Structure 1
């Protein structure tokens, strides 16, 4: 990767620079889509992917500690943060997890890492799931935080899930409806999504202002809706094809979930993931949904042990 790619790009804000101060910002073009993030540390490479409706700063407590023994890459998914937000296309495939996973594998290759560990939370974990299936040559080991597979979620929908995951069904509505409604009060909607488990006020350790900056634009709102539309359409097609072919994750898989979160209260995560991965293990973390921010200590310990 050339040096110019690793300079802070046009999307890097002064507020973002207050976090992960020992990390270097980058904006890398991967097949026409800009991927933004930060890289730091030294040692075996680890890719960290955030969830909805956040950015790579979701890892601000975890990344520096992992960077003591690893080269840590924390990246914004396409459609999120300061990464590119391409048109979705009629089948939503531009925001399918296959496309999002390919972005990140391409990013790591540009950074000089053809094989790496991948860790994802929430939407990022769904990208890691797809990445481990599509790119087994690249993903040495994988960790998924506070999810069960998308296919299992849709196959077991009930009233409790509909209420807890209301945005899964709201954001998939035809283009224009959720975008217009969210655009009328974006920070109110963001607060509703984050306020249950995170501090959403300004402060020295709060990323709220950055999350709000990146969330409130029409382009970001539309892209995030497309992420969920893809999950309910093209992603399910890909997942169904894998299930029919008997394809499962072959690399070691770490499954972490929050004891107080919906996943921990509703599912037996290890039992569910047994149907999707050959070699999985994991444990609950004393947290709600946002493990890397609510309980970074337990999260780091579990990840460090798994990563070696």
Structure 2
């Protein structure tokens, strides 16, 4: 418990939202292709994680302790945290799955770059060891806060690794807007059809939400942005935003390194404040619609709006 703050920080950095809010702007201004790959891989892997959770179910430790009725005589003292009370099913771990996929994209690109410049196998080996350490740290943090069982973390890490390897070969750079519109609709309709089909078969897909509300120690730790449909709208919005960004400015803005650093600072601040804007949680449809718009804006802020503004400032200074 003395390291609780450190584990909470690790689980925050492993949150799927971190791929869009933190890693994407940093990587994009270092390598456009890898930055686009981060959004692409994060959206697809989180969507597939949602589908797998609906199919595989999976308990979460913080509610399983009470629901299992194995500890009636000597109930353990369960310590929960604000990040504990997620409302979706537990298998596989979304944090582990998205982290595994996204960090593979980032570190494999870094390893390839270093190897092409230095021809050092030691440096590339260190990066791949760092990849394993990151997965272990995120997995332990999820177990520590009672959000997942160990096997769920392992399943998420392995699935994310395979997705990262596969999707990194098909990055939609310079693709037409239609591709992203169809991808967005495919993700949305695919998930909704699966949801409808499972409900028609008598599967109650809201079972995990009711358990989370029952066993979470503080009701305000139940957040709308942790629900399954929030991740769906986030992924669809990011996918559409990625297409719109490449449609408005194909190839992006050509900027030297100094203006890129300014773009990174401004983009990070912009994404931070956009993410902080409170959204109405009722009715749910309004929340999901605004959440969709929020993540549609984010790729455009990083790839079009901020670089365009900085480009305008730097060209004026040169004149």
TM-score, normalized by length of structure 2? 0.27
Name which structure has the greater RCO, CA cutoff 8 Å, separation 6+: 2
* Larger strand percent: 1
TM-score, normalized by length of structure 1? 0.28
